[in-house]
């Protein structure tokens, strides 16, 4: 959790924070909470808010943000809060991490109150880690709170999902994103940064907005040229594989998402399951199956960047599917 994530309360999270505060005040706080977020919209911030809510010393105005416990939580130094994330370059949360968390939650808290475990992103739990979490979800120790933050809850086993109370975070408006980023980081060209990654202000707050805008412009130009058959997929793949690939893949995913949204608004998407376009002599069309398939493949590539693979070949395969002869024709210009 970054310092930005512990700053001013994001306007678009008002409904969720009010629901949590009401549940806590009425003694109805769940023992397991699943926060469903679009990446960068505040899942970690809301998890920290929920932890502060049950740990804050200022009972009448929790979380106060000023007591010793709130300050420790903001500094990631609270002894009764454990954050579990993928370790180092791993893209997975592993069984050993979950076992350590469950053992810690079973111990008496330092402050005599709640113990909190936060798993983020929870959809990075591998199968064995998710199974190891089940016993604690089924038989939680008294005064414990487990918080799972996930952008793709469908990757979690149904047995885990069924034992969590879900809170969904809506995407912020552009005005809300810009206002929060300005308050957290100061004045910058946040519109250009948001154009690159979409409404993901918490994610963007960790990046250099000027660099992000420049990479985003290059990515959009390359993808538009690939879709129009104006550039070589091999050369583009080699260039991307050499530098800033994780950021480029984030931009690629956002570009595809925007193509899907634009196609839906324009009524230009083909719902048929056929891979190739038809009416080829008319205007170009989009096949929604192919576009969603590309989104999934980009996400899968992002998830496997920590394992040995030929990144250039993987990118080339994606880029060839964008080209006019690759099965996707785009009539929505980027």
- pLDDT by residue for the chain (334 residues), tens only, comes to 443 334 678 999 999 999 999 999 999 999 999 999 998 999 999 999 999 999 988 766 778 888 888 888 888 889 999 999 998 777 789 999 999 999 999 998 887 789 999 999 999 999 999 999 999 999 999 999 999 999 989 999 999 999 999 999 998 999 999 999 999 999 999 999 998 888 999 999 999 999 999 999 999 999 999 988 899 999 999 999 998 998 999 999 989 988 887 766 655 555 544 444 443 333 344 567 788 889 889 988 887 877 777 889 999 999 998 876 444 444 443 3
Torsions phi, psi for 266 (to 5 deg) = -85, -5
User: How far apart are the C-alpha atoms of 321 and 173, rounded to whole Å?
Assistant: 32
HSE-CB at 188 with a 13 A cutoff on CA atoms is 22
DSSP states along 259-303: HHHHHHHHT-EE-S--SS-S-TTSS--EEHHHHHHHHHHHHHHHH
User: How far apart are the C-alpha atoms of 249 and 233, rounded to whole Å?
Assistant: 15
Which strand (E) or helix (H) includes residue 195? Answer: helix 190-197
Q: What is the pLDDT of residue 108?
A: 87
What pTM did the predictor assign? 0.80
As beta bridge partners, residue 328 has none
The residue extents of the domains of the chain are 4-168, 208-326
Of 332, 302, 297, 333, the closest CA to residue 317 belongs to 297
Q: Is 269 left (phi over 0), alpha (psi -120 to 50) or beta?
A: beta
Q: What is the pLDDT of residue 191?
A: 93
Q: Which CATH number fits domain 4-168: 3.40.50.10490, 3.20.20.150, 3.40.50.300, 3.40.50.970?
A: 3.40.50.300
User: How far apart are the C-alpha atoms of 226 and 216, rounded to whole Å?
Assistant: 15
Q: What is the pLDDT of residue 306?
A: 72
Q: What is the pLDDT of residue 2?
A: 41
User: How far apart are the C-alpha atoms of 206 and 83, rounded to whole Å?
Assistant: 18
Radius of gyration over every alpha carbon of the chain, rounded to an integer in angstroms: 22
Tell me if residue 55 falls in helix, strand or coil.
Answer: helix
């Amino acid at each position: 959790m970054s310092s930005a994530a512990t700053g001013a309360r994001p306007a678009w999270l008002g409904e969720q924070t009010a629901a949590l505060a009401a549940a806590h005040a009425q003694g109805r706080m769940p023992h397991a909470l699943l926060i469903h977020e679009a990446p960068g919209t505040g899942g970690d911030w809301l998890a920290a808010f929920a932890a502060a809510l049950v740990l804050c010393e200022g009972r009448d105005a929790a979380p106060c943000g000023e007591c010793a416990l709130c300050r420790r939580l903001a500094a990631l130094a609270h002894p009764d809060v454990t954050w579990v994330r993928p370790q180092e370059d791993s893209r997975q949360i592993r069984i050993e991490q979950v076992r350590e968390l469950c053992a810690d939650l079973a111990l008496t808290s330092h402050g005599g109150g709640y113990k909190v475990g936060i798993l983020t992103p929870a959809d990075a739990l591998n199968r064995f880690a998710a199974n190891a979490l089940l016993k604690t979800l089924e038989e939680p120790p008294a005064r414990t709170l487990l918080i799972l933050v996930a952008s793709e809850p469908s990757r979690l086993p149904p047995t885990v999902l069924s034992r969590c109370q879900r809170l969904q975070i809506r995407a912020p408006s552009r005005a809300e994103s810009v206002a929060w980023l300005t308050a957290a980081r100061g004045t910058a060209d946040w519109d250009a940064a948001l154009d690159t990654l979409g409404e993901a202000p918490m994610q963007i707050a960790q990046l250099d907005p000027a660099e992000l805008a420049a990479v985003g412009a290059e990515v959009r130009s390359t993808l538009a040229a690939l879709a129009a058959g104006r550039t070589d997929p091999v050369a583009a793949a080699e260039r991307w594989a050499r530098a800033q690939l994780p950021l480029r893949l984030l931009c690629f995913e956002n570009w595809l998402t925007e193509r899907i949204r634009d196609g839906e608004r324009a009524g230009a998407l083909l719902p048929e399951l056929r891979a190739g376009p038809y009416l080829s002599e008319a205007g170009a069309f989009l096949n929604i199956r192919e576009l969603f398939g590309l989104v999934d493949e980009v996400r899968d590539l992002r998830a496997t960047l920590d394992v040995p693979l030929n990144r250039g070949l993987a990118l080339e395969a994606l880029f060839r599917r964008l080209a006019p002869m690759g099965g996707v024709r785009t009539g929505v210009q980027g």
